[in-house]
Each structure stands twice: as C-alpha cells, then as structure tokens.
C-alpha cells in the first residue's frame, strides 16, 4: 500500500514566518515531496527557496516545467506562475489567475488531489480571504487529509477559518507542532481512492487544464456551471456559477476563477476605484471651469466669467459628495462578518487592516 507522501501547502499574508518555522522542524530523513504556494508580488523574484533551504534540512527550489518529482524535496511556486502536479512531474504554467492570484493555492491542491488522491496531505496556513478552501475540499473528497494552522496561531487567520467552515478538517494545530505531525502522517499508508461521478471528475480535469492554458471557453467551462448576471473583474467576461458542497465559486469564459468571498472583495474594490476616478473627473472639471472663468474675466467678459464660476461651484459641491462617498465606501468580503460580530480568534482584525492597505494602494494608484 502506498504512503501519504505528497504534501501541498498554501499560505498568503503571514505565511513566510509560518513556512520557515514549519520546515525548520522537519528531519533530514523526511521522505515526502512538499509543494508550496505562497502569495508573493508577481513583479519581483522570490528568495523563498533559499530562505526555506537555510531554515531546515530539506532543499527547496523553484522547479522547472516538467521537472521530475523527487522525495525529500520542497518545490516552491515561482511568482506569477501556477505550480501544478502531474504523474511524477511538476508543471509550471502562466494560466488564468484564480482568486486574483497566480500562483493559486486551489489550482495546486486540485492537481495534487486529481493525480495522487489519498496520498495527498493538504495544509492551509496564515492568509487573508479563502484561497485554498476549494482545493482542500477537493483533497478531502479524493481521500486525502486536511490540515490547517490553528487560527489563534496564525498572524492572519482568515484562510484557516474559511477552510474549517467548508471542509472537514483532520487536524488544526499551531505551526510549531506541524512538522512532527507531518512526519507521522507521511509514514501512514494511504486509504483506497474514493470514486467520483464522471461529470465531477470531468470538471476537475477541466479546471486543472484551465490553469495551464487560457482557452476555458473552448473547454466548455461555462456549460459546467450556471450562467450568471455577474461579470469577471479581471476581463469583464461572463461568469458561470460552480458549486462544491457548500462552496460557491465562479469562472469566466476566459478562465479566471473566484470564490464568492474573493469576488465580493474584488467588486467592492472596483467600486472604490470608480468613485476615486469620478471624484478626480469632477475636480478636473472644476479646475477647467475656473480657468475659463479667469480667461473671460481677463478679456472683459465678466458676465460669461460669472456663469463659468457658478457652474464651477456646482461641480465643486458634487465633487464633495463623491469625496464623502469614497471615504464611506468599505472594502467588503465574506470576512466582513468578523468586524462587528467578533471573530472566533483575536487576530482577525488584521485581515481587515490588510483590506485597508489595499484601499490605500487603490487611492494612490488613481491619484498618480
């Protein structure tokens, strides 16, 4: 009987600290293959493999497309590239983003579950929103194990919390105890692979292929769900609604994918961007009207100048209304429920702060 020797890990905000602590606890004879997706900026190279290699005894690398999977090796997703698994090899591709990220935790998890089923151990660490929940659900459905960092131990607990709400978790524990548990679990034999209905298996296969290509429409993903009135925030394409247990997700005809949580967050951010653009347009109109008024005043046409000034004052009042609306606008996702109701953990407000940081970036982008 085969061992559980495929470990897939997903992390986002606060994840690097958790990952370094986890690999530090691994023994030299840890024989499983480990695959990591850590959300990082797409525009800069990642030193995460070097950091992890220095932190523990297992070598970590950015794998090349098609590289053979070896035991006792850590494979780290390269920025702006999905990390996927096929039988015996690693796949590195720039397919459509999922939950606004490339690499996607869900894409890695799904591919591992599809190929290795019960041999897979999925781990969700610190992070904001819920990338990894859908993939962890797939791992469980195909006989693998689901682990999460104890939300009380996570710097940003939203990802572990969301995973626990939709997936039956096998182990929730502090990251300091995770290496020891992984050693024990990888020595256990894998259970038989559960059977999936043909239509579910086909959709899983299609979603994995989408992560390697950009021809989701040709693959028929729209027909595998229910067409909605929503549009993709990335490309404005039509979104199809997919359901996995109690998880609601969306895919557009070009391949971008969102959980309902991520979609809500993205839409609310777009609204704020539009409000900033509207305010900027009104302020520019005010400046132009004022300048034209000065021009006519200098040319002895005071009557026309007063008309332009009056219009400028009207526009100024409208700009103030939009200005107040911008600061009243709140970036909302499914994690919004923790703000007023009290999170099950004490650190959840940091996820809200992360949202405010994104808000500040949006304002800077528009102003520039």
Domain identity same for 169 and 284: no
Bridge partners, 227 (sequence order)? 240
Q: Using an 8 Å Cβ cutoff, are 169 and 193 in contact?
A: no
Is 159 among the domain residues? yes
Domain identity same for 289 and 353: yes
In sequence order, which residues have a C-beta less than 8 Å from that of residue 218 and are 6 or more positions away? none
Measure the CA–CA gap between 89 and 69, rounded to whole angstroms: 5
DSSP classification of residue 55 = H
Burial of 218 (0-12, 13-18, 19+ CB in 10 A): exposed
Domain identity same for 154 and 25: yes
User: Residue 249, SS3?
Assistant: strand
Residue of 12, 126, 134, 348 marked active site:
12
- What pLDDT is recorded for position 218? 62
Question: Token pair for residue 110?
Answer: 């799904």
- What pLDDT is recorded for position 132? 95
Is 168 among the domain residues? yes
Bridge partners, 257 (sequence order)? 98, 251
pLDDT in 10s for each residue of the chain, 368 residues: 789 999 999 999 999 999 999 999 999 999 999 999 999 988 888 999 999 999 999 999 999 999 999 999 999 999 999 999 999 999 999 999 998 899 999 999 999 999 999 999 999 999 998 999 999 999 999 999 999 999 999 999 999 999 999 999 999 999 999 999 999 999 999 999 999 999 899 889 989 988 887 565 566 666 778 889 898 888 888 899 999 989 999 988 888 999 888 888 888 777 888 888 888 899 999 999 999 999 999 999 999 999 999 999 999 999 888 888 877 766 665 565 555 444 444 443 343 334 443 334 433 433 33
State the residue range of the domain holding 99: 6-186
pTM: 0.80
The angle at the Cα of 214, spanning 208 to 218, to the nearest 5 degrees, equals 85
Please confirm, yes or no, whether 131 is among the known catalytic residues: yes
Residue of 106, 130, 131, 153 marked active site:
131
Domain identity same for 248 and 268: no
Please confirm, yes or no, whether 39 is among the known catalytic residues: yes
Domain identity same for 36 and 68: yes
Domain identity same for 338 and 245: no
Question: Token pair for residue 321?
Answer: 């209304």
DSSP classification of residue 91 = E
Pick the last residue of a domain from 171, 186, 201: 186
Q: Domains in the chain: how many in total?
A: 3
Pick the last residue of a domain from 223, 239, 255: 255
Domain identity same for 242 and 272: no
Largest CA distance in the chain: 95
Residue 34 sits in a domain of what CATH number? 3.40.50.180
Please confirm, yes or no, whether 82 is among the known catalytic residues: no
Measure the CA–CA gap between 284 and 275, rounded to whole angstroms: 14
Is 196 among the domain residues? no
Residue of 39, 62, 81, 82 marked active site:
39
């Amino acid at each position: 009987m085969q061992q559980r020797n495929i470990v897939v890990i997903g992390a986002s905000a606060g994840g690097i600290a958790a990952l370094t602590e986890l690999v530090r606890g691994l023994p030299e004879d840890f024989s499983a293959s480990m695959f990591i997706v850590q959300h990082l900026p797409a525009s800069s190279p990642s030193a995460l493999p070097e950091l992890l290699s220095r932190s523990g005894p297992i070598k970590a690398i950015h794998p090349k497309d098609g590289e053979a999977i070896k035991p006792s090796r850590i494979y780290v997703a390269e920025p702006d590239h999905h990390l996927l698994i096929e039988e015996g090899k690693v796949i590195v591709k720039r397919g459509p983003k999922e939950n606004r990220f490339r690499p996607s935790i869900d894409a890695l998890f799904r591919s591992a579950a599809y190929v290795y089923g019960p041999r897979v151990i999925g781990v969700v660490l610190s992070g904001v929103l819920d990338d990894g929940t859908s993939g962890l659900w797939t791992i469980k459905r195909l006989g693998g194990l689901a682990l999460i960092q104890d939300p009380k131990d996570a710097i940003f607990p939203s990802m572990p919390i969301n995973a626990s709400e939709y997936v039956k978790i096998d182990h929730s524990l502090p990251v300091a105890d995770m290496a020891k548990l992984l050693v024990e679990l990888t020595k256990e034999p894998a259970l038989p692979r559960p059977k999936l209905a043909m239509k579910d298996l086909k959709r899983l296969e299609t979603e994995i292929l989408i992560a390697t290509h950009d021809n989701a429409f040709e693959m028929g993903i729209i027909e595998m769900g229910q067409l909605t009135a929503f549009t993709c925030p990335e490309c404005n394409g039509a979104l199809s609604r997919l359901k996995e247990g109690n998880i609601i997700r969306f895919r557009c005809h070009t391949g971008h994918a969102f959980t309902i949580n991520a979609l809500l967050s993205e839409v609310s951010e777009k609204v704020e961007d539009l409000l900033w653009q509207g305010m900027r347009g009104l302020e520019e109109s005010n400046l132009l009207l004022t300048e034209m008024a000065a021009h006519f005043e200098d040319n002895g046409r005071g009557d026309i100048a007063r008309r332009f000034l009056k219009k400028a004052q009207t526009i100024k009042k409208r700009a103030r209304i939009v200005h107040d609306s911008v600061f009243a606008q709140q970036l909302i996702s499914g994690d919004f429920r923790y703000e007023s109701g009290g999170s099950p953990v004490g650190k959840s407000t940091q996820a809200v702060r992360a949202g405010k940081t994104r808000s500040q970036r949006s304002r800077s982008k528009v102003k520039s």
